[in-house]
Amino acid sequence: MKTMKASSQLWIHGLIILYLLFLIFPLVWVFASSLKSTQELYSGLPTLLPQHITFEHYRSVINGQQIFRSMWNSLIVGVVSTLLVVSIAVPSAYAMVRYRSPINNVILGWILLSQIFPVILVMIPLYVLLRYAGLTDSLNGLTLIYIVWSLPFVLWMMHGYVKSIPLELEEAAVMDGASRSQVIIKVLFPLLLPAIGASALFAFISAWNEFFFALVLMKSPALATLQVELARYTGMEGQSRTGPLAAASVIATIPSMLVFIMMRKWFTTGLVSGALKG
Amino acid sequence: MNQKKRSANKIYSKNELGQIQLLSPVIILVTVFSLVPLLRGIYLGFTDYRLGDAITFNGIDNYIQLFQDDFFWNSFRIGMVWTFIVTALQVGLGLGLALLLNTKVRFVSFYTILILIPWATPPIIRGILWRQMYEPNTGALNVLLTNAGIISAPVNWLSNFEYVIPAVIVAGVWGEISKAAIFLLAGLQTISADLYEASTIDGAGMWDQFRNITLPVLRPVLAAIISLTFMWNFNTFGIVWVLTQGGPGGMTRLPMLAAYEEGFKYGYIGYAAAIGNVMVIILSLMLFMYLRVQLRERNEA
């Protein structure tokens, strides 16, 4: 690789930049739109870069009740479901790795199998069930759904991480007279902390980005999540909202963008080694 | 391995009750909110259930009706077109990008960060971004094409029967290339550089190396990604919902949109569940055939 010719290096950069033009252009375009004034947006001759940078659309998004409230709803549902799903998944993953029993294979098999079923099949009876329980059109109901929905993947991730921790560490602590709960809290937990962080970020983002469940379950406008609220804006009011919609899109993308960038090491190493080890 | 197992038993005697205790939240949640609803959903596909009414089993009536229903056939036709083209473009372009990034030229980690961003964009926002790209009067695409002199009058990409499918596919592929590229890059990085060096000494060209080293090692990862993306693409909902809501005239009504309309717009729950059942059967058949071909090829190799 070191002996690669300068001309072929140039080719590779050129091709990557071609990809980037396609992948980044829509984002740049909308980010620029979010900074253009309303007159400029409808001037008929748009340019890529804004002529005068203005934050009016960001201001109107943050002051505008609806979008701000829907952001708050998404945040609450995301944080609560993440905390709960992680506190369920960590002890469960531990139990799956440290005890060998047929239940483990049933659970892992379920995680894979559940990928093939379209959400519509689960959603219909779930909707009926939640309606009985008075949990449709309620943030509690949505939180519950998100816990169940991200549980398989978080469990899968944690299972891989716990597996990678050598048993010898626990044995040593037991030799020193630690009880099992002490082993878990003092030995395992600190080692697992980065993994727990990664799984938590993942759970949060899947809740933050989710659309279908929220669309079906949340009927009152005051309870809409951010994704539902933004989708509604595109439907009804269309282009009169280009500016605020662009600003809201930028804001809505920032959390997952940060998470993806923080987790990129995990994507390129952890994911595949975990998948191959099974 | 065996030694490990024995020492594990030394610390914690094989206490299945303890395990079930720890696993009980998962078992309860999955059973109540996932397994039971799923089984019930499959069952509802064999009933004429409408929200609020009594549930009557009606055997395969739904499927006979589906078979004669143009609404359903159109939706599955476009579903297949969408799934095959998006998966092929996503994996093909993703593999190209992964190979480029794996050459370890300068700035690769900077490129990787930029490439992650479309994947990080939520599906609804992807729809909003592309609506603004396709917007007839102020959208980027028409502005670019007009400036380049390719079109003289603005084109309304998302309500034009000829352009709407390609337009929606481009938007769908856009957000998914990064995902395939990053997964495949991780697979490529497991291939040792020694293999390439040895074959270079033997005089192998780049294409030979790709065919004889890269592809065989990558095959399991590639098969996993193709199967997963195929399933995900077949079940797409959000981005198309924002772009076209299934229109114009149902041309982009993917199966999930059709099932959503039947179930939650018109209230034909039983019929919507039947569409879901057919989706599962079609997906399972396709995956089964695909994986069988994969296995046979691997055994022959």
Going residue by residue through chain B (301 aa), what tens digit of pLDDT does each one get?
Answer: 444 444 444 445 456 667 778 888 888 998 888 889 999 999 999 999 887 788 888 888 999 999 899 888 999 999 999 999 999 999 999 999 999 998 878 888 889 889 989 988 999 999 999 998 998 888 889 888 988 888 888 888 998 888 999 999 999 999 999 989 988 888 888 787 788 888 888 887 888 888 888 888 888 888 888 988 999 899 999 999 999 988 888 899 999 999 999 998 898 999 999 999 999 999 999 988 988 888 887 777 6
Query: Residue B267, by phi and psi: left (phi above 0), alpha (psi -120 to 50) or beta?
Result: left
The two tokens of residue A274 are: 């975990």
Residue B13, domain member (yes or no): no
SS3 of residue B138 by DSSP:
coil
Of A31, A54, A77, the position where a domain reaches its end is A54
Nearest to B133 by CA among A32, A55, A232: A32
The two tokens of residue B199 are: 């074959």
- CATH at residue B278: 1.10.3720.10
Beta-bridge partners for B57: B47
Both A96 and A117 in one domain: the answer is yes
Burial letters for B52-91: b for 16+ Cβ neighbours within 10 Å, e otherwise?
Answer: eeeeeeeeebbeeebeebeebeebbebbeebbebbbebbb
User: Side chain identity at A30, as an amino acid letter?
Assistant: V
Nearest CB to B120; choose among A215, A256, A276? A256
Beta-bridge partners for B47: B57
- CATH at residue A139: 1.10.3720.10
pLDDT of A267 reads: 64
Both A80 and A213 in one domain: the answer is yes
Chain-centroid distance of CA A154 in Å reads 11
SS3 of residue B103 by DSSP:
coil
Residue B296, domain member (yes or no): yes
CA distances from B5 to A97, A159, A177, A271, A274 (A): 11, 17, 21, 26, 21
What is the number of domains present in chain A? 2
A254 touches chain B (CB under 8 A): no
Angle between helices B36-44 and A119-132 (to 10 degrees): 110
Both A40 and A94 in one domain: the answer is no
Both A257 and A149 in one domain: the answer is yes
- Residue B63 to chain A, least CA–CA distance (Å): 16
Both A41 and A153 in one domain: the answer is no
Tens digit of each residue's pLDDT, chain A (278 residues): 445 677 888 899 999 999 999 999 999 999 998 998 888 887 767 778 888 888 988 988 888 778 889 989 999 999 999 999 999 998 888 888 888 778 888 888 888 788 788 888 888 888 888 988 899 899 999 999 999 989 988 888 888 888 888 888 888 888 888 887 788 788 888 888 878 888 888 889 889 999 999 999 988 889 999 999 888 877 655 555 788 889 989 999 998 888 888 877 766 555 544 444 43
Both A47 and A75 in one domain: the answer is no
Nearest to A37 by CA among A21, A54, A15: A54
Cα distance between residue A36 and residue A153, in whole Å: 40
Mutate to test the interface with A, among B121, B261, B290 (most CBs of A within 10 A): B121
Nearest CB to B273; choose among A119, A121, A155? A121
Whether A124 sits inside 8 A of B35 (CB atoms) is no
What is chain B's length? 301
Cα distance between residue B22 and residue B130, in whole Å: 46
Please answer whether residues A30 and A48 qualify as being in contact, where contact means their C-beta atoms are separated by less than 8 angstroms: no
Residue B194, domain member (yes or no): yes
The two tokens of residue A79 are: 């944080």
Question: What ranges in chain B are assigned the alpha helix state H?
Answer: 2-11, 16-30, 36-44, 61-67, 70-101, 108-120, 123-134, 140-147, 164-188, 193-201, 206-209, 215-234, 238-243, 255-260, 269-300
Query: Exposed/middle/buried for A194, CB within 10 Å: 0-12, 13-18, 19+?
Result: exposed
Nearest to A186 by CA among A201, A168, A204, A174: A174
Residue A60, domain member (yes or no): no
Please answer whether residues A213 and A74 qualify as being in contact, where contact means their C-beta atoms are separated by less than 8 angstroms: no
Residue A59, domain member (yes or no): no
Query: Exposed/middle/buried for A37, CB within 10 Å: 0-12, 13-18, 19+?
Result: middle
Residue B123, domain member (yes or no): yes
Whether A268 sits inside 8 A of B132 (CB atoms) is no
CA distances from A274 to A82, A192, B72, B183 (A): 22, 15, 39, 12
User: Looking at chain B, which residue has its C-alpha nearest residue A178?
Assistant: B11
What is the number of domains present in chain B? 1
User: Looking at chain A, which residue has its C-alpha nearest residue B231?
Assistant: A116
Cα distance between residue B218 and residue A107, in whole Å: 28
Please answer whether residues A213 and A146 qualify as being in contact, where contact means their C-beta atoms are separated by less than 8 angstroms: yes
Both A78 and A181 in one domain: the answer is yes
pLDDT of B10 reads: 45
SS3 of residue B139 by DSSP:
coil
Residue B265, domain member (yes or no): yes
Mutate to test the interface with B, among A121, A146, A147 (most CBs of B within 10 A): A121
Both A29 and A150 in one domain: the answer is no
Residue B62, domain member (yes or no): no
A11 touches chain B (CB under 8 A): no
User: Looking at chain B, which residue has its C-alpha nearest residue A97?
Assistant: B19
Residue whose pair of structure tokens reads 């379209």 in the numeric block: A118
Nearest to A41 by CA among B140, B147, B124: B140
Nearest to A150 by CA among A87, A220, A106: A87
Both A76 and A211 in one domain: the answer is yes
What is the complex's ipTM, to 2 decimals? Answer: 0.84
Whether B26 sits inside 8 A of A155 (CB atoms) is yes
Residue B25, domain member (yes or no): no
Q: Which of residues 125-184 of A touch B (CB under 8 A)?
A: 125-126, 128-129, 144-145, 147-148, 151-152, 155, 167, 170-171, 174, 180
Whether B100 sits inside 8 A of A33 (CB atoms) is no
Range of the domain at B190: 69-300
Please answer whether residues B168 and B248 qualify as being in contact, where contact means their C-beta atoms are separated by less than 8 angstroms: no
Both A116 and A174 in one domain: the answer is yes
User: Side chain identity at A229, as an amino acid letter?
Assistant: E
Both A31 and A73 in one domain: the answer is no
Both A125 and A261 in one domain: the answer is yes
Whether A246 sits inside 8 A of B132 (CB atoms) is yes
pLDDT of A243 reads: 86
Residue B101, domain member (yes or no): yes
Range of the domain at A253: 65-277
